[in-house]
Structure formats: structure tokens, C-alpha cells
Amino acid sequence: MRETAIVQRIRALAEAGRHDPAIIRGIGDDCAIFRPRPNEDLVFTSDFVLEDRHFTLRTHTARDVGHGALARSLSDLAAMGSKPVFCLVSLAIPARLGASWVRGFYKGLLSLAAKYDVTLAGGDLAQFEKVIADVTCCGRVPRGKAILRSGAKPGDRIYMTGALGASARALALGRRADGPEPRIRAGIALRRLGVSAGMDLSDGLSLDLHRLCLESGVSAELESDLPIAPGASLKEALHGGEDYELLLTASPEKKLPPRIAGLPITQIGTITRGHAGQVYFKKRPLRAKGFDHFR
Ligand SMILES: [Mg+2]
């Protein structure tokens, strides 16, 4: 099948899906055109998904890979408390996988896109020895209201949605973790509640909390009883990646409800004054051992 024919199929799938009216031109031209509203900020994020790094063709179907590729980017939009608007998807695949794999990838991606009103506005297709997907997402947030990593203050409480370690546990068992569910609704609700800082948990609590503290110029003290997924070890909970839950801080005057958008919210620690980026667990310095591509 030729590229033009494949693009036409993808275009038909995309046009059957969501279409944000702010996208005044989507797939079909050299660029997509997006017309923002007044008084909104746009947030952008871009994420790679690489075969044999983030998934294998043995364990993941084309649909799984498409779902996962969009979910990673949407998780970053959730972390900012933004509402997703559109995505651009660049996909390279080996020739032997063929058009049916491409179709499966886009079906997986577009079913998640439909759930969160994301318009597939464009992208690129290429052949390469391995599967590479790069998904860029844009979200909108009221002007000046995006949740940043840099807003945590000493005395703030640290919270997270959901539980830790499920993906690390699945990986240890040689299984495929369930496709991550981006915490979009929770992110928007938490932004409205006025949290002080936040990010998504993609590379493990120890490393991600270290990063948040570094950006905020603070330290953190974790509590000893963390919300751990069934079967996961403490080590998997502290250092395992790919949880895609939200990590937040809020001033002690803000009382966060025990559940937001159907997800449990647990206080897991306190922000303290101290060496920027230092995280303590049971009074001892916790090494940031989460997933780092360059270690
Ligand atoms: Mg992130």
C-alpha cells in the first residue's frame, strides 16, 4: 500500500473521531491551523515511544502501542491541569509490519483520543528498522493557571492520585502493564482547587519527586505508608516508573477531598525547607533511582 492511500485511511479514521472547532484545518494541508481563544494559555508536550525500549512487538499489539503513545503525552497535559485539544503523530515502522499494523496503531490512538476529545490534526509516516512514534500534544488552560513543578513551598502537603508500583510489578512478572489512563479529569479538578505544584509520575516517585523539589528549590519528607498497588514491593513503589499518576503539592490550608474524578487522593508527605531536590524517606535521604534514559 502506498503512503497516500495509508494517509487517506488515517484521515478518514481521524475525521470520524473528535474535531475541536478551534482546529480550523486538520489533516490534508502542510500544517494544521489552530485558532486559540482569548485568555487561554496553550501547553505543549512531545513524547517518544520506542520499540524495545518502551514496548516490544511480542508483548504489545499495534492498538496497545497507539494507545500508550498518546497516553504518555496526555499524562503530561493532565499534570499541567490542562484540557487536551489536539495531537500531531509521527510514526515510523518496519516495512514488514504493513498497513494493517498502522491501522491498528491509529485505532488504538484514536479510541483514547475520542475519550478525551483530542483531535488528530496531522503528523508524518516513514519506514524504519524499528517502530518509533513521536506524539506531540497541545492542551488549553485558563491564562496563568497551569500547574507547574516550581510552585511547592515548605509546609505544603504532598499528595498523589491512585497507587504506586503496578507497572513495575507487571514488568517484573514479564507482563504487559494495562494501558495507562491519563488523569485528565483529576488534573483539571486539582487545578481548580488551587494546588501549588504538580507533575505526572512517569519515571518513578523517587526521581519525579526529586525533580519537582529541584524546580521548587525545596526538600521533601515522604511518609512511610505509601499507597502501593496490590502485589507491588516498596522498592517498586518508590522507584518503578510508568505509573502515570499525578503528584501534587498543596498548602496545608487547602483540604483536598479523599477522591477526585473517581480516583483516591492520598497525602504521601510534606515539603520541607532544605537542600533543593533532596527527598527523605523514614528520615533517611532517598536516592533518586527511577528511570533515567541516560544513566
Ligand atoms: Mg511528565
The per-residue pLDDT for range 104-149, each reduced to its tens digit, is: 999 999 999 999 999 999 999 999 999 999 999 999 999 999 999 9
Residue 180 CA to ligand 1 center (angstroms) comes to 13
CA-based nearest residue to 146, from 210, 203, 249, 77 = 77
Beta-carbon count within 10 A of 94 CB: 14
CA distances from 143 to 43, 119, 272, 278 (A): 11, 22, 29, 31
Residue 71 CA to ligand 1 center (angstroms) comes to 11
Residue 29 CA to ligand 1 center (angstroms) comes to 30
CA distances from 37 to 63, 118, 145 (A): 33, 17, 15
Residue 202 CA to ligand 1 center (angstroms) comes to 6
pLDDT bin (cut points 50, 70, 90) of residue 5 is confident
Burial of 166 (0-12, 13-18, 19+ CB in 10 A): buried
Residue 15 CA to ligand 1 center (angstroms) comes to 29
Average pLDDT, the chain: 93
Q: Report pTM.
A: 0.94
pLDDT bin (cut points 50, 70, 90) of residue 295 is low
Radius of gyration (C-alpha) of the chain in whole angstroms? 20
Residue 197 CA to ligand 1 center (angstroms) comes to 13
Rounded CA separation 280/295 (Å): 22
Rounded CA separation 229/122 (Å): 37
Residue 100 CA to ligand 1 center (angstroms) comes to 31
Residue 148 CA to ligand 1 center (angstroms) comes to 11
The pLDDT tens digits for 238-252 are 999 889 999 999 999
For residue 192, pLDDT over 90 is answered with yes
| Structure-block grid coordinates of residue 135 | 506524539
Residue 70 CA to ligand 1 center (angstroms) comes to 13
CA-based nearest residue to 26, from 104, 103, 87, 116 = 87
Residue 292 CA to ligand 1 center (angstroms) comes to 13
Residue 97 CA to ligand 1 center (angstroms) comes to 30
HSE-up of residue 123 (Cα within 13 Å, Cβ side)? 29
Residue 76 CA to ligand 1 center (angstroms) comes to 5
pLDDT bin (cut points 50, 70, 90) of residue 294 is low
Share of the chain above pLDDT 70, in %: 97
Task: Measure CA 103 to chain center.
Answer: 23
Q: What residue has cell string 499541567?
A: 80
For residue 78, pLDDT over 70 is answered with yes
Angle formed at CA 120 by CA 119 and CA 125, multiple of 5 degrees = 175
Residue 191 CA to ligand 1 center (angstroms) comes to 16
In the predicted model, what is the mean pLDDT of residues 46-63? 93
Residue 194 CA to ligand 1 center (angstroms) comes to 19
pLDDT bin (cut points 50, 70, 90) of residue 20 is confident
Residue 59 CA to ligand 1 center (angstroms) comes to 24
